Every structure is written in structure tokens, then in C-alpha cells.
Chains A and B, each alone.
Chain A
Amino acid sequence: MDAIILQILNGLDKGSAYALIALGLTLIFGTLGVVNFAHGALFMIGAFCAVTLNKILTLSHTVIDPTKTDFLGNPAKIQVPYVYDIFGESAGASIIDWSVPLAIFFAIPVMIIIGFIMERGLIKHFYKRPHADQILVTFGLAIVLQEIIKYYYGANPIPTPAPAAFKGSFDFGAMLGFDPNIIIYPYWRLVYFCFAALIIGAVFAFLQFTTFGMVVRAGMADRETVGLLGIDIDKRFTIMFGLAAAVAGLAGVMYGPINAPNYHMGMDFLVLSFVVVVVGGMGSLPGAVAAGFLLGILESFASMREVIAFIPGINQVIIYLVAIIILLTRPRGLMGRKGVMED
């Protein structure tokens, strides 16, 4: 029982990332009809927004410390962040410590702008082109974006720690009456899950309870009719692209403390996120979220030592195996809508 609870918990945070990326993918596909293979790169750029803000906050001036020497035996050059000068050492250190949560406010406008530029500058020219063309161009764009990031930030992962207040883990098992140290869970992963739930809830509320969202949903269901009513649906869909980019970016910002960001992290999530979208059902937002969490949890279960001992290699294929089974039994995915990708 304890092992099951443990793997469900582990699946939640991984599923959160899948769900957030898949949600954005589905939004773009549902509104613009574009299969966006650059969506993983948006997740990666989000993570690098946190890295960038950290670099900005740690911009420093050099002070020579004659009491210390560097590796060549010269007087050591100590880097003092400007925020220390502005806010004092203690407050400055706290600001740097909280750079990841602060990066949320930095990432939202940055990601929306990147989303607009991507959509207006490139992707809109491929709306009427076959899906194969869209996949090729967005995949190419993803490679360009990750190479740009690698050029400026290098190939190594860049540590992006959570605030000190969220370091370490808590004993969830002891709270449920299990033995100590049996079910432990890091604070930041819990934060990530709650954050993902909040974003998902906000996106659904936006689409469900605002006039803008109602028009977008109507457009997703029947674009032509909405257009005939005199509504500029293209403009709204462009805004949705920016919103989807922001969702992917925020997923990336908060993921930094879980795994140090590197230029390739978007690709690591991209393929799995597409499987999530297909399993959830093309164009279905609830399906994307449900499939994200389902596949995240299943992936965790498949990584258990006992499961691997029983079926060697299952941890590497479980997601694809489940995708095959679901698509065989429910060809439109878990919550797929009739008519989407069936022409």
C-alpha cells in the first residue's frame, strides 16, 4: 500500500508537467489546427526564463579581496551582486533565493511575446498547409530555439534551486500512520503539483466563464460559423497561442528546481506530451489533463523495482504500450471529439 501511495505521489508531479504541456498543445491544436512540435521548446524557454532572471538578479561587480587568492595565485576577485548594494545583503540574498517564484512574473510577458512572434511570424503561414508541413516547420523551429539557448547558456544543466523554505521533504507516510521514512515527498514537488492544478483550473475557468473563452470554445467547435457571425476569431486564436505559450513557459519556470534546466529538456517532454494529447483525445482539454496525470502515474509504477523484475524494460515502453491499448479500444482517445483529425 505504501509503495502504491508513493508512486501515485511521484506520478503527480511528473503528470503535472505532462498535463500543462499537453494542455497548451491541445489549445493550439484545437484553436488553430496546428500540430506544434515547438511546444516543448516553449517549456524549455520558460525554464530558462527562471535561469535568466537568476542571472539578472546575480549581476555583480567585482571587489578585490587581498586576503584571498584565485587559482593562479592572484588576489581573489569577489563577485558582489548589485541587489546586495540596493537592498542590503540579507534582503538581496532573499530576493535571489526566491528567483524561481519571482520568474513567474518575468516569464508571463516574455512567453506571451514569444508566442505572438512565433504565431505571427511563422506559424500563421502554415495554417492551410498539411499537418506534415506544420510538423516539419515547428520541429525545425524547436531545434533552432534549443540551439540558440545552448549557444548562450551552454550544454550543461544549470542549477536553479527552489527557495530555501521549500528545500527538503516531508514524511507523508507518518501523517497517514505508516512507519517513518516510508513515504517521503519533497516540498517543491508538492508546490509544483498545486501550481499546476491552479494553472489548469485558471485556464478552464477562463475558457468556461469569460465571453472571450466562450467565443474561443465556439470557434474550436465551428470556426466558420463563428466567423460568419462577424467575430474576428483569428485574432482570438492568436491570443490563445500566446496563452498556450505562457502555460508551457510557466510549467518550465517551476520545473527548474526539480531538474536543472538544460537546452534539451523540451525535447525530452515533447514526444511524451504528444502521446498524452493523443491518449487524452485530440482537441480535448480535459482529456489532455486526465491523460497527463494518468500516464505520469503509470510511468512511476512501471519504474518500480518489482515491476521491472517482473517485466524487464517496461519502464521504457509503458507510456507507448498504454497509448496503443487505448487507441485500439478507443480510437479517439479517452475524451476525443468526433471529427477532430478524422478528415
Chain B
Amino acid sequence: MTKTNMSRRGVLKSGAVAGAGLAVPTIFTAQSAAAYTNEPTGSTVTLGFNVPQSGPYADEGADELRAYELAVEHINGGGDGGMLSTFSSKALDGTGILGKKVEYVTGDTQTKSDAARASAKSMIEKDGAVMITGGSSSGVAVAVQALCQEAGVIFMAGLTHSNDTTGKDKRANGFRHFFNSYMSGAALAPILANNYGKDRKAYHLTADYNWGYTTEEAVRTSTEAMGWETVAAVKTPLTQTDFSSYIAPVLQSGADVLVLNHYGGNMVNSLTNAVQFGLREKQVNGHNFEIIVPLFSRLMARGAGANIKGIFGSANWHWSLQDEGSQAFVRSFGTKYGFPPSQAAHTCYVQTLLYADACQRAGTFNPCGVSAALEDFEFDGLGNGKTLYRGSDHQCFKDVLVVKGKENPTSEFDLLEIVEITPRGQVEYDASIFGGNLGACNGGA
């Protein structure tokens, strides 16, 4: 048996020492959490807009840049305020972010992953950008998102539609407002079944890269669940310009629907070729032959001209939406630039406001604080109805548009008509189905 002689003074001393000892790491932890990559110290904060300024998506990049400039103007209190007046969160007051005036630098992604990473890196390391946003390609988005994760800055994705961006390649520092391939399939399938029936045979032409695969898979799964049969799925090289040799055999296959899982120049050329071959004038299996373009973009639709008339597709947003937020944005953008914004412009504008708002609500630019403020944030008034930034994969969930090429456009911008606004509940899914792991947020420094 042992006896311990512990006095009251001894217990107090030991407790104080032990307490101090335990507190030391906490203090150090707290101190290191306060320091993060490019913490703004002056009266300004710098955002990095990384968009395609050259290459095939340069026009889309130019529209993104217009939207970013407008967003900065509104955040700093300029212009008519745009969507700030309709945004459900009222944290932003037109004095910048956390009292700091917003400035920006731009980079050129060239729609090439390595170039996009280089320009993002330069904006972070040389220009002190605290957030990177933009882009018109899923490959670029995934690459830049990974870079931002390593660097300890927030990445607010621009136009990226692949499931992978917030699926298997998701990162804690990355957030996507734009919809994805799964949502396109889920929104389109019921409309296609209603308009074309459930007894259809589909032939897919799919761009041979990541986005093409996920879009084909999403549309196939959704349409097959409705009773359609997929008779063939052919991958086409990304560099293909003439699709005649891929389109000519479609009728021989017995298919009565052609799904073009193409975007950009691929979409313009494959759709033009399909119309040239007169597919839409044919009758197969007792049905009119139909063409579907799962992801529509007004800028791309303009390239396809009259060929898009009557063709179904999906979109994240369209300027003809009548809700207050959309109208406010169209008014601001249209007044400043003279034409309506594209969906790429819309998502980039909204992402900038959401980031600024999250910083304001979190009271910090620290990526981990901003990330926490964005996770499971529910908002309205930004053009797609009530929207949720889901915490488990950093994907926004909102209404999705099913659109159709307009038969009688009244202007070069009036190319698509909204067929249905698919409610958010219909395009939601379990975050685990696409795998991936968010990991922990990285504040850098």
C-alpha cells in the first residue's frame, strides 16, 4: 500500500503547469489557423478570374469575364447592384468584402489544363489572389481545383458539367454552382419520354474525354430507365471536325434518336452534319427521327444556326427566366454590355457573389471559414429558385432547365426556349454514388 502526500498548494501548482502545458498547443493551433494563403492585409482583396481568353472557348471566356467585372462592380457598390437586391442573404452591403475593396486579376486558361494551372498558380503566388474562379471545361476545373486545394485557396468553379468535378475529383476547397451531367439526364428523360414516347432506340455519339463519358452515362441511365434502348454508343475524337463518317451509319443501326454528347465546336459540327444528312426528315420504326443535345449553350447554339430548331437539351440558366433575380441580372448585364448574358456568365457572376457573401458571413477570408459558411448554405434570389450548396460534395442543387431550339427566333440571342423548369427534388442524388473524397479544407500558409 502506498501513501501519497499531496498538499493543496501542490495540487494547484501541478494543475497550473498541466493546464499551461495543455494550452500551449491550442494557442499554437489557433495562431496557425489565423494565418492562411494570401491573407489580405491592406484595404483591398484580390480575386483571380481564370477564364479562356484564347482558344476555342474564348467567346465564352469573354462573357465570363464580363460577368466577373459586373459582380465586382456590384460588390464594391457600383452600378444598380444587380442580384444583390434579390439575393436572400443580405450580408453584402456594397462596401466590398469585409470592408475591403475588391480588385481582380485575370488569367488565360486557353482551355488547357496545364496552362490553366500555370495561370492560377501565377495569380495565387504573384498577385496574391485569395480565391480563383472561372473556366469553361471540366478538365480545366478538375486540374485547377486540385491546385487550389494544394495552395490553400478557394476555387469557385465556372462552367464545368462533368459529374467528376464534385464527384470522384471533388476537393474541400472547391465549389460548383453549375449543374452536372447527372442532372441533365434526370431532367431530360421525362421530357423526352413525354414528347417522343417510351419505345425509342437511341444512338450515342460521345466526345472521347471525361465530360463525354459522364454525360453519355447519365443520359443512357436516365433514358433506359424510361424504357428507351441504347443500340450503340460510339466515341468520337475530340479533334474531329467532320462527323459525316460517324453520322452516316446511324440510320443503318435501326436507331430513331441520335444523342450528341458533344460540346463546343464538336456540338456545332456534329449537329450541322446530322441535319445535313437529313436525319430529322426521316421516319424510322414508325417514328420521326429525333436529335438530342444534352448540354445546350446559347453561345454554341449560335454557331449551329438554324440547325438547333426543335432540338431538346438542358441548361443551367437562361436569360429569358422571369424570376426577379434573373431579371435583375439580365437588366444589369444588358444595360452595361448591350446583349443578354450567357449561362456561363450567370454561373460566374453568382459564384462571385456567393463567395463574397460567404466571406462576409464567416467574417474571414480563411478558406476553411469560407468553406464552412458555404457548406449546406441555402439561398434564393440568384436565378434558379431555392438553391442548396450541399456540404457533402460542394455541389449546388437547384432547378434545372429543359430547353429547346426555338423555331422562330426574334434575334441572334433568342435561340432557345424554356420547355420546363425541372424542380430541384427531381435532380438530386446521393453524394456517394460518384465516389471521391472531399478531404479536409486547406488554408495553406
Contacts and interface: CB of A to CB of B under 8 A. Distances in A.
Interface string B112-141: 000000000000000000000000000000
A257 B411 CA distance: 21
Given A72-B335, A303-B245, A159 B276 contact: no
Interface residues of B, number: 52
B268 A155 contact: no
B331 A72 contact: yes
A71 B272 contact: no
A303 B246 contact: yes
Contacts of A188: 276
A225 interface: no
B438 interface: no
A265 B241 contact: yes
A154 B59 CA distance: 6
A154 B58 CA distance: 8
B330 A71 contact: yes
Given A181-B251, A260-B272, A168 B244 contact: no
Contacts of A155: 54-59
Contacts of A262: 56, 265, 303
A6 B248 contact: yes
Interface string B234-273: 1101010110111011011100000000000100110011
B58 A259 contact: no
Contacts of A13: 242, 244
B233 to A, nearest CB: 9
B196 interface: no
B244 A10 contact: yes
Main SS at interface, chain B: helix
Most chain A beta-carbon contacts within 10 A, residue among B244, B246, B320: B244
A160 to B, nearest CB: 8
Interface residues of A, number: 49
Contacts of A305: 232, 234, 249, 253
Main SS at interface, chain A: mixed
A265 B235 CA distance: 21
Given A159-B304, A186-B278, A300 B252 contact: no
A25 to B, nearest CB: 19
B302 interface: yes
B269 A156 contact: no
B372 interface: no
B244 A14 contact: yes
B226 to A, nearest CB: 24
A10 B58 CA distance: 31
Contact of B304 (A260, A268, A304): A260
A94 interface: no
Nearest to B52: A155
Given A184-B248, A186-B276, A168 B281 contact: yes
B55 A159 contact: no
B237 A316 contact: yes
A63 to B, nearest CB: 14
Contacts of B239: 268
A7 interface: yes
A159 B245 contact: no
A315 B237 contact: yes
A158 interface: yes
Contacts of A10: 244-245, 248
Contacts of B273: 258-259
B319 interface: yes
Interface in A183-204: 184-186, 188-189
Interface in B296-310: 299-300, 302-307
Contact of A68 (B58, B59, B410): B410
A286 interface: no
A71 B306 contact: no
A305 to B, nearest CB: 5
B282 interface: yes
Interface string B288-325: 00000000000110111111000000000001100000
Contact of A260 (B249, B268, B410, B411): B268
Nearest to A303: B245
B429 interface: no
B278 A168 contact: yes
Nearest to A71: B340
Contacts of A9: 248
Contacts of A2: 252
A161 B242 CA distance: 15
B277 interface: yes
A260 B269 contact: yes
B276 A189 contact: yes
A8 to B, nearest CB: 11
A39 interface: no
Most chain B beta-carbon contacts within 10 A, residue among A13, A76, A303: A303
A299 B253 CA distance: 20
Contacts of B79: none
Nearest to B338: A72
B331 A184 contact: no
A264 interface: yes
Most chain A beta-carbon contacts within 10 A, residue among B241, B248, B307: B248
A321 to B, nearest CB: 15
B167 to A, nearest CB: 25
Nearest to B302: A156
A157 interface: yes
Interface string A259-272: 11010110010000
Contacts of B410: 68, 76
Contacts of A128: none
A264 B248 contact: no
A61 interface: no
Nearest to A268: B241
B306 A300 contact: no
A182 interface: yes
A156 B266 CA distance: 11
Interface in A275-321: 299-301, 303-305, 308, 315-316
Given A168-B276, A189-B244, 17 more contacts: A2-B252, A3-B252, A10-B244, A13-B244, A71-B320, A76-B411, A150-B58, A155-B55, A157-B304, A169-B276, A169-B278, A189-B276, A258-B242, A259-B272, A260-B303, A264-B56, A301-B245
10 contacts: A14-B242, A71-B330, A72-B330, A150-B58, A169-B278, A186-B276, A299-B245, A304-B245, A304-B249, A305-B234
Please list the 3 inter-chain residue pairs (A to B) with the smallest Cβ-Cβ separation, ordered nearest first.
Answer: A159-B305, A169-B278, A303-B245
Interface of A: 2-3, 6-7, 9-11, 13-14, 68, 70-72, 76, 150, 154-159, 161, 167-169, 181-182, 184-186, 188-189, 257-260, 262, 264-265, 268, 299-301, 303-305, 308, 315-316
